[in-house]
């Protein structure tokens, strides 16, 4: 069956339908990773977005029970070049088409992903949606242009209740803005006693657990949509060790008086070079973010830039000059991706020990 991908600039691409038949307007973004489509689909940070994978062959190793980053995918659609209908992997439980049908996510294959990627790089991120007939395109373009980006993604993906992950080590409270399971696994590997709380939990409640540290997780959307969270992060910075990842980095920066901005087409992939400005070491990192911290805005804050993207010079990490707090814009847990940056969890452990 035919399916059409329509962009808000009026361009459209016809391909083959797979997955579910339920369509929702989303932000069209591209990811350059060669593997890890299951981790990408189940990353809560993609809530509200239609994900396009630039690597051409997708689905060849199926879907398994081990590589999920959340209980179910949160993205609004998938765009790929070639779909493999017969996966070959001993762990595979289900093929990609059936998995998307099972979770109500539409997909399109057989389109020129290279051309679409070029369009996004030139024009910037655009809203998009699927339709079934050419006759629907004109009205859909009008709707896309009239529709604003979502502003409630974090509330959609955050846990609704507090839950523990018992351990015998440091007590870490994770503020869940859309946390990946790999982050929780990295804390568990270090025997942390973890308490995961909803995104809108007050600083007073977080501190009532007497944590050794707080982790501000990754998550979707614009950090400026969370003013109430920013106020709570201000309090936490003054009272405990804090480690921020991705959205957590942006929230920490805003809490300290810096500014954020929307990137032209975001950073999404598993091969982004980042330089540690303290050591001079370059790490190859996994990334997924559409916003960044304004480097110039750090000048009059208590933060300094600690890591910098070598591709475009944007801020990839900050550290506090007087408090045991730091954050990175990329994903140190890295699933799926390079493991260069997992040492940052050890740095967090050392920081909590020093604060104690």
Question: Could you give the CA distance from residue 251 to residue 20 in angstroms, rounded to a whole number?
Answer: 34
Q: Are 258 and 301 in contact (CB under 8 A)?
A: yes
Comparing C-alpha atoms, which of 164, 180, 239 is closest to residue 40? 180
Residue of 246, 249, 256, 315 marked catalytic = 246
Q: What DSSP line would sit under 229-284, residue for residue?
A: HHHHHHHHHTTSEEEEETHHHHHHHHHTT--EEEEEEEEEEEEEEEEETTT--EEE
* Torsion, Cα of 63, 336, 270, 114 (10° steps): 0
Q: Is 331 a catalytic residue?
A: yes
CA distance 80 to 17: 11
Q: Is 249 a catalytic residue?
A: no
Catalytic center residues: 246, 331, 333
């Amino acid at each position: 069956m035919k399916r059409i991908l329509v962009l808000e600039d009026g361009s459209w691409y016809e391909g083959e339908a797979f997955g579910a038949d339920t369509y929702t307007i989303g932000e069209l973004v591209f990811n350059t990773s060669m593997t890890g489509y299951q981790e990408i689909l189940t990353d809560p940070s993609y809530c509200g977005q239609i994900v396009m994978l630039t690597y051409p062959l997708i689905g060849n190793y199926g879907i398994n029970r081990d590589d999920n980053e959340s209980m179910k995918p949160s993205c609004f659609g998938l765009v790929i070049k070639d779909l493999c209908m017969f996966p070959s992997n001993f762990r595979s439980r289900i093929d990609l088409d059936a998995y998307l049908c099972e979770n109500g996510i539409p997909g399109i294959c057989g389109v020129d992903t290279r051309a679409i990627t070029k369009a996004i790089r030139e024009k910037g991120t655009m809203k998009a949606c699927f339709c079934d007939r050419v006759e629907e395109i004109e009205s859909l373009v009008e709707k896309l242009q009239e529709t604003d980006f979502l502003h409630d993604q974090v509330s959609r993906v955050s846990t609704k209740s507090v839950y523990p992950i018992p351990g015998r080590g440091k007590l870490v409270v994770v503020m869940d803005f859309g946390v990946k399971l790999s982050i929780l696994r990295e804390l568990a590997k270090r025997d942390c006693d973890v308490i995961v709380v909803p995104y809108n939990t007050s600083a007073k409640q977080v501190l009532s657990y007497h944590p050794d540290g707080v982790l501000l997780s990754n998550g979707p959307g614009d950090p400026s949509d969370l003013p109430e969270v920013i106020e709570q992060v201000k309090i936490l910075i003054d009272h405990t060790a804090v480690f921020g990842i991705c959205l957590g980095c942006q929230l920490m920066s805003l809490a300290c008086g810096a500014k954020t901005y929307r990137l032209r087409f975001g950073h999404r992939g598993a091969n982004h070079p980042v330089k540690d400005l303290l050591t001079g070491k370059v790490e190859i990192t996994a990334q997924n973010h559409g916003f960044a911290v304004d480097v110039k805005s750090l000048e009059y804050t208590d933060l300094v830039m600690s890591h910098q993207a070598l591709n475009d010079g944007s801020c990839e990490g900050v550290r506090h000059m007087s408090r045991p707090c730091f954050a990175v814009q990329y994903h140190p847990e890295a699933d799926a991706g390079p493991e260069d940056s997992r040492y940052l969890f050890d740095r967090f452990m050392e920081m909590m020990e020093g604060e104690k």
